[in-house]
Amino acid sequence: MAGTARQGTKRGRFAPYGLLSPGVIWLILFFMVPVMVLFRTSLSDRPNRFVPNALNFSWNFSNYTDALSQYGEQFQRSFVYAAAATIACFAIGYPLAYVIAFRGGRYRNLLLGLVVIPFFTTFLIRTLAWKTILADEGFVVQTLRDLGILAANGRLLATPLAVIGGLTYNFLPFMILPIYVSLEKIDRNLVDAAKDLYATPARAFWRVVFPLSLPGVFAGTLLTFIPACGDFINAAFLGSPQTTMIGNVVQNQFLVQLDYPTAAALSFTLMIIITVAVLIYAKVLGTEDIA
């Protein structure tokens, strides 16, 4: 009996590791291994540029210095556009999420459905639709010209505004949904208690609602900023050669130039910069679910 009990205790001790093993194996195979392959590729060189798969691993750190020196402008532009799109998504998404959570009532599910509906269409088609909407001879541009907001030969396409607008539209649901989840979990009695203590609606919002929704804001900004940094479709279809982002450079190096070491170095550099930025952001804002 004692031996059976010890055996059961030993099995119970290793049970959590057994439950974790599928996830760990998945992460190793589909995250760690690709990252290591990417890192190895970034430190290689091509002995023959006509044979892209013929890579020679040589600890070639010059790929990184060349990437930063040649494409620093695209890196900077990517972060500026992504930050602008994230701010725009927050400015649009937070009020919308607030209305759905606190004022949606029986129409809440319908409103959430309207937020998610764009995902029923592919990312590429949605971007091409905006290319049509913002066309030089389209209704939007013609109206802005008639109102005097745009010059007679002014345009929206091939401008930073169009790229940022496309990023904002495509990633807006990623901002709305996490914020909505945080707002929906807030106990309404806390807001009522603040009002009973003579807090104005605005003060109750800033002292109660907004702090409790910060976990959703944190998640939403990350889900918007990170993919926006690496996006290349919006810049390719709504921008111009003067608005290219680092994602366009990586796509070109991988699929057109077939320069895998440079493309890998650019990708790894972008990943490192974003990781450091996220860690700093998490430290400043905090990630504790206080709701």
pLDDT, tens digit (0-9, with 9 covering 90-100), for 208-253 = 999 999 999 999 999 999 999 999 999 999 999 899 999 999 999 9
Q: pTM of the predicted model, to two decimals?
A: 0.86
Distance, CA of 48 to CA of 58 (rounded, Å) = 14
Four-residue CA torsion sign, 178, 83, 43, 52: positive
pLDDT tens-digit readout, 185-207: 988 888 888 888 888 888 989 99
Four-residue CA torsion sign, 270, 70, 247, 129: positive
pLDDT tens-digit readout, 18-27: 778 888 899 8
Four-residue CA torsion sign, 179, 184, 185, 186: positive
Residue partners of 219: CB distance under 8 A and separation at least 6: 178
Distance, CA of 26 to CA of 32 (rounded, Å) = 9
The answer to whether 184 and 111 have CB atoms below 8 angstroms apart is: no
The closest of 285, 276, 277 to 80, measured between CA atoms, is 277
The closest of 108, 103, 290 to 213, measured between CA atoms, is 290
pLDDT tens-digit readout, 24-74: 899 888 888 988 998 999 888 876 666 666 787 888 888 888 888 899 999
For the chain, domains (ranges, CATH) are 64-285 (1.10.3720.10)
| Interstrand relation of 56-57 and 44-45 (parallel, antiparallel or unpaired) | antiparallel
Residue owning tokens 């996220």: 278
Beta bridge partners of 56: 45
Distance, CA of 115 to CA of 213 (rounded, Å) = 19
Distance, CA of 192 to CA of 85 (rounded, Å) = 34
